Amino acid sequence: MKSRRVFLKMLFGLGAVILPWTGLPGKIRLATAPMMKQPKTKLFLVPAEAQTLEEYFQSESLNRTAWDDIQTLASPDMEGRRAGTRGEGLASQYISRELSLLGLEPMGEMGKSYTQAFTIPEVREVFSGSRLTFSVGDPNRLRAPSLNVLGGISGESEETILISAHYDHLGIFQGHLYPGASDNASGVGSVLDVIRRLVEEKSTPEKSLLFAFWSGEEMGFLGSRAFVSNPTVPLENIKAVINVDTVGTGPVGDFGLWADSNNDLAMTTIQEAASEAGTHAALVNSNGHSSDHITFARLGIPAVTILAREWLKNNHSPQDTIRNIVVEQVQLASEIVYRAIKKLAF
């Protein structure tokens, strides 16, 4: 026994000399490190309250609200969502994921994807007073890719009501983040909330619904223009357009409408919807500003943009943050759009 213990002691002693000398312990640590960091595999089980896998995924998005969407889209991670940048890519992924969880039909390229790609020209940053805007630069420079996000709910007829909000903003300029919380994370959140409500109701509309989240709006409505020159549903099927832009600014219940064509259908409906929701939406002078409704109005399609009457507050500045978002106003915009869709499509 004794000689065996002596022998073992010698072996350990030898190891203490040899191992540090060969660097073996370090090598073992390095070799096993990736293994040690591997997360534990979790078993995925559909919760008992969900009947199907589809319902479970839907609940993932149905539990979210416009406020969650705004916080996500206006967070520094999204880098101000400038068209053609990584931030735009992340924002488009977020919106596509929500549409997919909610079970909307992909209405992008070939009806197989939620996105529609287009290209944008080089732009230059220009200050108009304290507002940062873009002007188109050299048209011969290399164009960058950009993405619209589109999803639909099929109705009984092919006649379509288009509901839209642009999701792009100004990005980061001179070291300042332009989060675009009101312009237009608020519009995206309010439209996503309308979709959640319709999905929860599970009723089939008479007309089809197309939900579009445009990019490149800040560069001159480039996303909506790309759509009309390469539409994923026939333009003649689109009977009315309701566009939501910058609805996160107070005072609560005070909305403006921009329209640039003879469009009784959209205007009358949205005004009725607003008064039913206990709010006020009046046609206002856009003073040379515009939004994506213009792309459709130019084609003679009834189109209107709903926006907060005080939309210019903090607009196109680094102060357009979630701290300045009036959540009740976003919820009211959502209520108006929901009621207008009920009138137009059900």
Q: Which residues contribute to the site for Zn ion (CB under 5 A)?
A: 183
Nearest CB to Zn ion, comparing residues 154 and 317: 317
Nearest CB to Zn ion, comparing residues 155 and 250: 250
**Please, what is the minimum distance in Å from the beta carbon of residue 131 to Zn ion?**
9
Nearest CB to Zn ion, comparing residues 165 and 277: 165
Instruction: For the chain, give the longest Cα–Cα distance.
Output: 105
Residue 158 · residue 132 · CB < 8 Å? no
Residue nearest to Zn ion (CB): 183
Residue 189 · residue 66 · CB < 8 Å? yes
Nearest CB to Zn ion, comparing residues 168 and 193: 168
Q: Which residues pair with 280 in a beta bridge?
A: 254
**Please, what is the minimum distance in Å from the beta carbon of residue 163 to Zn ion?**
19
d(CA 116, CA 92): 10
- Interior/surface letters 283-320, b for 16+ CB within 10 angstroms, e for the rest: eeebeeebbbbbbbbeeebbbbbbbbbbbebbbbbbbb
User: DSSP 3-state assignment of 55?
Assistant: helix
What does the CA dihedral 183, 186, 191, 197 come to, rounded to 10 degrees?
180
Nearest CB to Zn ion, comparing residues 79 and 183: 183
**Please, what is the minimum distance in Å from the beta carbon of residue 171 to Zn ion?**
12
**Please, what is the minimum distance in Å from the beta carbon of residue 218 to Zn ion?**
5
**Please, what is the minimum distance in Å from the beta carbon of residue 26 to Zn ion?**
55
